[in-house]
C-alpha cells in the first residue's frame, strides 16, 4: 500500500515494518488513507495490491507530499519473508511463494538462482523518495520522516504502538555459512547502498 497523509506519502515495502508504520501514524493522530494506484507492479500481483511503489500511485495523489519508505537488511528480508510463508498457501501466481519452502537455506538458494539481487531490485522500485528509513530503527526513523514532512503528531503515542505482524523468530544463524555468503553476494549492491 501507499499511505497518504496531509503532508506525506509512505510507500510500504513488503516485510519492512509497514503495517506498524501505518498503525503508529494513526495512533499518533495522523489521518491516513490508502493512495489510489494506477498500474500493476512489475514484481507481481501481491506487491501491486498491498505494496504500491511510487510508480504505481496516481500523479494527482502524490501532490508534492514528502515521500518515504523503509528497508530492512536484505539478509533479514530473506529470513522474514520465508518465515511469513510457513503454513500459508501460495498466493495466486506469485512466483516467490512457489519456490521450495520447507527449508530456509534451500528457499534462499532457489530465490538467488531464479532472481539474483531480488531484494535490491525490489527496494529500487521504492527508493526514489526523499527519505529511506531502516526497519532496524523503525520508531526513530519514522519520527524523523514525519518531522521532515512537517507533520504534527504525538511522538509518545507513536513510540508506544505495539509491534504488529511479527512472525516466528528464526535467527540469521539459521543460514548455513555458504548460503549467508550467497545472499550477501547476490544483494551486495543493496547492502552497500543502504547498509554500509
Angstrom distance (rounded) from CA 161 to CA 157: 6
CA gap 29, 34 in Å, rounded: 16
Element (H, E) at 74: helix 74-84
Which structural domain, as residue segments, surrounds residue 72? 2-195
Q: Model pTM? A: 0.89
Determine the Cα–Cα distance for residues 175 and 173; give it in Å rounded to an integer.
5
Give the cell for residue 185. Answer: 553476494
CA distance 122 to 145: 21
Summarised one tens digit per residue, pLDDT across range 68-115 is 999 999 999 999 999 888 887 776 667 787 888 889 999 999 999 999
The bridge status of strand 2-4 relative to strand 33-34 is antiparallel
Number of domains comprising the chain: 1
CATH number at residue 143: 3.40.50
Amino acid at each position: 500500500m501507499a499511505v497518504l497523509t496531509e503532508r506525506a506519502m509512505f510507500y510500504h515495502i513488503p516485510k519492512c515494518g509497514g503495517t506498524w508504520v501505518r498503525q503508529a501514524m494513526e495512533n499518533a493522530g495522523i489521518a491516513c488513507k490508502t493512495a489510489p494506484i494506477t498500474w500493476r507492479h512489475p514484481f507481481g500481483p501481491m506487491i501491486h495490491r498491498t505494496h504500491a511503489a511510487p510508480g504505481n500511485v496516481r500523479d494527482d495523489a502524490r501532490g508534492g507530499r514528502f515521500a518515504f519508505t523503509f528497508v530492512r537488511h536484505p539478509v533479514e528480508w530473506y529470513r522474514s519473508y520465508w518465515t511469513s510463508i510457513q503454513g500459508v498457501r501460495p498466493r495466486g501466481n506469485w512466483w516467490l511463494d512457489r519456490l521450495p519452502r520447507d527449508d530456509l537455506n534451500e528457499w534462499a538458494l532457489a530465490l538467488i538462482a531464479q532472481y539474483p539481487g531480488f531484494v535490491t531490485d525490489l527496494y529500487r522500485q521504492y527508493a526514489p523518495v526523499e527519505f529511506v528509513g531502516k526497519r532496524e530503527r523503525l520508531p526513530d526513523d519514522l519520527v524523523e520522516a514525519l518531522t521532515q514532512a512537517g507533520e504534527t503528531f504525538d511522538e509518545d503515542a507513536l513510540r508506544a504502538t505495539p509491534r504488529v505482524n511479527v512472525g516466528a523468530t528464526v535467527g540469521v544463524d539459521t543460514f548455513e555459512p555458504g548460503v549467508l555468503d550467497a545472499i550477501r553476494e547476490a544483494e551486495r549492491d543493496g547492502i552497500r547502498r543502504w547498509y554500509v
